[in-house]
Amino acid sequence: MVADPGSAANARELREIFEQLGATYIKLGQFIASAPGIFPDAYVTEMQALLDRTTPVDFADLEKTLKTELGDDYRKHFRSIEELPLASASIAQVHAAVLKDGQSVVLKIQRPNIEAKMDADLGLMSFAAKLLEILLPDTKRAGVTDVIHELGKSMADETDFIQEAKNIQEFEQFLINSDETDVVVPQVVKRLSTKRVLTMSRLYGSPLTDLNVVRKYTKNPQAVLEKALATWFQSLATAGFFHADVHAGNLMILEDGRIGFLDFGIVGRFSPKVFESLWLLIQGVSEKNYRLIAKSLIGLDATGGGGEKVEEDKFANELKAVFDKVNSFGKTVEKAVARGDEINIDAADLNSMVLQIVSVARNNGLKIPREFALLIKQFLYFDRYAQILAPGMSVYQPKFLPQAKT
């Protein structure tokens, strides 16, 4: 569908306003970019720019956070701090640094006053969404209020670096308990970490999407992917939680051939009672059994109705239509790999697929927990990694899958 010029102009103006208003609105724009079918095409297209571009904050502004969190004399802990960021996002920036003892670290520093700004913005958005649903009842089907609620939960997770540090250490303990030495996470420097500053050891390597660089560090890219998959699935099965943002920047092959999981700002957790439905979903995706996928999602219904009014056959057919698009997209990636083209895993495409699955569930009277949407998204990420590193390999082989809890 081609957007008319007026819509395109309006979308561009809204995107520019979002950029000026800051982090919360940038996050909202990123959601719009990932939600075709909910928002007009022109807006979805224009908001793509917010997925990859966040203007860095001057280091002088970030120093306010460092001084508040680590003290006015924070520099006494460091030999050096790079003022140009390694990465910049809507909530925080990452800067390379060297401690006094010579250890290379990264500093993840929140933007000034970001939490207060987000709280105020989310309150206004929530009020506006509820008012819109009262004035225009048909908009309630789009679930805008739910979108704002989930956005708030996600951003609350991402602004609590104490919790993120705990997530890293929990995953690290899981690796220790599993006697796993080929997979690592950054070491948290506790004495220099607070709610708004996170100091971690620096890992050197390459994203798994860069096949040429991956081949410099290993002779067997498929084995690397298999190890990452098995570890991720095992954390889900044995520890009840999973890394919920394994995009290209957060899953690396290190220079010594080990695998590094980065950025634990978002993790998913499942209670034992939902694990059976989770297991059915994994089996269903593995076997392309859409009735089983439908049954698993019905079992996860968060409305309390138990999916009693859902027509399972109709639901399964609608899910099949979405997964057919996923499979078609996968074949496109495989062809690009075969040609030797540069591959980028498009977060917008993956988000779109997840939202389509959630939308199908909603249209059938179900409410899918946030953790399940996060889980599906990670499945899609790993599927894309497989198409790049090991075309033809299924990420749902029995050797990767967790065993159902009893």
Tell me, yes or no, if 245 is annotated catalytic: yes
Contacts 24+ apart (CB under 8 A), 174-180: 174/234, 174/235, 174/238, 174/239, 175/231, 177/238, 178/231, 178/234, 178/238, 180/231
Greatest CA separation for the chain: 65
Q: Among the options 245, 263, 301, 383, which is catalytic?
A: 245
Distance CA 190, CA 271 (A): 29
CB 323 within 8 Å of CB 290: yes
Distance CA 52, CA 73 (A): 34
For residue 340, is it left (φ>0), alpha (ψ between -120 and 50) or beta? left
Q: Which residue has the tokens 């990767």?
A: 400
DSSP 219: S
C-alpha to C-alpha distances, 28 to 121, 141, 149, nearest whole angstrom: 11, 18, 11
User: Catalytic site residues?
Assistant: 245
